Structure 1
Amino acid sequence: MTSLTQEILDLEMQLKCIREDIIGDWKDEKCLKDIMKTVQSTKKQLVDAFGQSLHALAESEPKTSTVESVVKNFPDAMKIENEKKRLPIQACLWYTSNHALKYIPLLAREGFKYNVGGEGKRGGLLTSDPSWDNARLNTLQLAAIMNGDGNLSKDFDEGIVKVLETLKKDGLLKKGDVTEYNLIRESAWKGCHMRFKFLLQLDPESVSGFLLDGKMFMYYLVNNRKLCHFKAILKVTLELYPEQAGYLFQKNLSRQQTAVERAIRKYGEKETMTALHEIISPSKRFPILHHALVHAPKTQTLFMQWFPWAYNLRDHNNRSLIQAILAAGATVLHKNAHVFASMSDEQICEKDPITTLYPFAAIASGEDGDLEKSFYLLRRQPGVLDRSQPRIAEQVTKTDGKKKRKRGGKKKRKRNESN
């Protein structure tokens, strides 16, 4: 049986002969037209054959360089749809293994040159997949959400991250895509947590002020995901946004309810607190009470029961728990009266590391200042006023010195004018 290689060599010689030796002198127009149709049909069949084969890359696993040769010489093969109306670049996502993922950046890069998927579709990345939820998601969104339940190995998640990294490097994944195509929402699943982290790092602001269905992200997450997914995503946000407590206390704009309060209500108190305990308690370094007592004071008793070790921690500003409460204002202080009542003499004598105010001054400042509580602290530790005096005297001395210099300068000018 003749090999494919030999058949191609024979055909190549025949076509070369037709091109160089025959066409110029062959007068049979019907014959030439038949040859034209045959060549065109052969080219189309080759495109179809390679196009269908591009849908099965996970099975054949050719070298990336070989696939590149195919798509560069038969670019229309990237436009061939399978029986489910998917493009080859989309088919690479639908295998239970990650073997075809490595071809996606190549197909996107080459497809971009030939408008695969349509004008402005970035080689099919922004083309809707007709087989998913009434074509709700495009290829990029599909890459963010696939294997959300984590049924496949973590290699799939890692493989998609590598794809996204390459697409970003090639300019085919942009920061604006994260918000425009809701990639944070689509990737907010247990099985996609690596992708979620990558996308957050691409657009760090996408969680802090990002509204989804009228809700802030973390609140939306609780409303629309099971506890296992909430826990996996919270691990990521706590790692990337420790100063904001991973947006655990992000509020729903309409109900003024924090995400953690919604979680307690939806998942149950014990289930939610157990999940938080498993994330936060192993290191015992995260000042969770600073956030809970300031942003969700209704949960103060619950959080202090579960995280007693956090009572004496300091936050990223080096503030103690009481300093964080005082800095939040009179309303928060009123809701944490027990913490105020338990202030030690040492705490009363400690300045805020940011404002440099003593507690009595911090309480008295602002439109909602509480003079009664301020005087209470002064009665307990009146010595803090003495400690403030040198600073005040120094400021007065500097001010008086400036005034004297100004007056002296005026007198000197007058004497010069009289002379």
Structure 2
Amino acid sequence: MNISTFQGNLDFIKSLYLLKEWNDEKCRNEILEALEEANAKIKKALGRSMHRLGWRKHKPSIEAVEKVANKFPSTLSFPNGSGSIPIQSAATTCDGYEYVPILAKEGVKHKVGGEDARGGLLMLVPYENLGWNTLQWFVNVSDDDEFDTKKVHVLKELRKLDLLVKVDIQEQKLFLYCCSNMNKLRFEYLANWDPDALIETRTNRNVRLTHCKLSEENLLLILKAGFQYHPHIGGLLFVKDDEGNTAFDALCNGKGTANIMSLLHQILSTKRDYPILHHVLVKAPQHRELFMSKFPWAYHLKDHNGRALHQAVLAAGPDVMNANKQLFASLSDEQIQEKDPMTTLFPFAAMAVGEHADLDQCFYLLRRHPSVLEKRSRVSVSRSSKKRKIREIED
């Protein structure tokens, strides 16, 4: 029997009873019972069909899926053999991903998984009992670049619907799930949205992303993003864990110093415009020889504040400069007479300020070039003269 014939039979029976041309109650009850059974089978068939969205020729329009969900809301929660619901089947396969936004949207409307499940996005997927939710599975499933691009589009749609929010990146640890399968474009989209999550994301064991055991491909991806979005702090290299260990030390311990330096060389030596030595000498001076031998071209660069290498070290304070004694000893006469572009302090003054001021080094620099005091004095006199002239004009 086709659907048209079945519909014709229903219309015929309906008219018989509405017009009271047929009054057999027992027959009526049997027909209603059959219809209820048929309705249950229809829901079951559509529920199963929802799990096959995108398979082969079964690619209904988004509008058609919305119609079915509104007419038969129970299909949104219909479990398959493994206990997954349709949105989870769509999110964890390479076929139905484009239906994730509409399934989530309708799922919210019909409270699939409860008030806080976001239409099923935050429901745990029963597959293999990994403890991952639908959203985590979605960013994890590995694809080629073409599908990765399309899945970025799905993330954008979810974001537009407020079904994916910025805090999810950290709270749902989405970077970790992207990285485990090298989903580069999804990772880059999330990094662009919330660069701070590169630093703040932690595993279930409270380990930072930068301190995790990852493949070299993933490390390359993460380190590149770090330099792109956090250039003023040395990328992610010097982010510390709760015990004070830097990411660089953790990575070297896990992957080997030679491998990590090779990755950094791939990232930084292409353009040779990143002042990596500024950050190393300030944040990890114990590694200066290692980095100076690998990145000699960075020695003469200036940082984002316009500081040369020695100025960045001086600006970090006497303790940091004393940790780089070789650099201090090699200061030229010209460098000693050069002001910091940000603080306008001469090097001798930089060594004399702060809680850990080093007056011995301060006087050493003054003895080498006492003329800087005259320069400072002339500047002060010049400023005083200008102020007097301004007052005279005002008077």
Would you say same fold, with TM above 0.5? yes
Task: Please report the TM-score for the alignment, with normalisation by the length of structure 1.
Answer: 0.85
Q: How many residues align?
A: 390
Distance, in Å, in 2 between the alignment partners of 1:92 and 1:238 is 35
Using the TM superposition, give the Cα deviation of residue 139 of structure 1 relative to its aligned residue in structure 2, in angstroms: 0.5
Letter in 2 for 1:10: T
Letter in 2 for 1:217: L
User: Is 1:218 aligned to residue 213 of structure 2?
Assistant: no
What is aligned with 1:9? 4
User: Is 1:355 aligned to residue 335 of structure 2?
Assistant: no
Stretches of structure 1 that go unaligned for 5 or more consecutive residues are 409-419
- Cα distance, 1:385–1:63 mapped onto 2, change above 3 Å: farther
Checking the alignment, whether the CA contact within 8 Å between 1:178 and 1:206 is kept in structure 2 is: yes
- Cα distance, 1:23–1:86 mapped onto 2, change above 3 Å: same
Checking the alignment, whether the CA contact within 8 Å between 2:182 and 2:217 is kept in structure 1 is: no
User: Is 1:130 aligned to residue 126 of structure 2?
Assistant: yes
Task: Please report the TM-score for the alignment, with normalisation by the length of structure 2.
Answer: 0.90
What is aligned with 1:340? 328
Using the TM superposition, give the Cα deviation of residue 210 of structure 1 relative to its aligned residue in structure 2, in angstroms: 4.5
- Cα distance, 1:37–1:190 mapped onto 2, change above 3 Å: closer
User: Is 1:207 aligned to residue 202 of structure 2?
Assistant: no
Letter in 1 for 2:225: V
Letter in 1 for 2:99: Y
User: Is 1:366 aligned to residue 379 of structure 2?
Assistant: no
Stretches of structure 2 that go unaligned for 5 or more consecutive residues are none
Using the TM superposition, give the Cα deviation of residue 366 of structure 1 relative to its aligned residue in structure 2, in angstroms: 0.9
Letter in 2 for 1:343: L
Checking the alignment, whether the CA contact within 8 Å between 2:91 and 2:135 is kept in structure 1 is: no
What is aligned with 1:416? none
What is aligned with 1:192? 183
What is aligned with 1:413? none
- Cα distance, 1:30–1:245 mapped onto 2, change above 3 Å: farther
Using the TM superposition, give the Cα deviation of residue 401 of structure 1 relative to its aligned residue in structure 2, in angstroms: 9.3
User: Is 1:35 aligned to residue 27 of structure 2?
Assistant: no
What is aligned with 1:64? 61
Of residues 198, 209, 226 in structure 2, which corresponds to 1:237? 226
What is aligned with 2:379? 391
Distance, in Å, in 1 between the alignment partners of 2:381 and 2:49 is 85
What is aligned with 2:46? 50
- Cα distance, 1:210–1:397 mapped onto 2, change above 3 Å: farther
Question: Secondary structure in 1 aligned to 2:234?
Answer: helix
Checking the alignment, whether the CA contact within 8 Å between 1:284 and 1:310 is kept in structure 2 is: yes
Of residues 246, 264, 283 in structure 1, which corresponds to 2:235? 246
User: Is 1:323 aligned to residue 319 of structure 2?
Assistant: no
Checking the alignment, whether the CA contact within 8 Å between 2:280 and 2:287 is kept in structure 1 is: yes
What's the % identity of the aligned pairs? Answer: 37
What is aligned with 1:411? none
Checking the alignment, whether the CA contact within 8 Å between 2:140 and 2:180 is kept in structure 1 is: yes
Distance, in Å, in 2 between the alignment partners of 1:338 and 1:200 is 38
Distance, in Å, in 2 between the alignment partners of 1:384 and 1:210 is 48
Distance, in Å, in 2 between the alignment partners of 1:69 and 1:215 is 45
Output the aligned Cα RMSD. Answer: 2.5
Checking the alignment, whether the CA contact within 8 Å between 2:191 and 2:225 is kept in structure 1 is: no
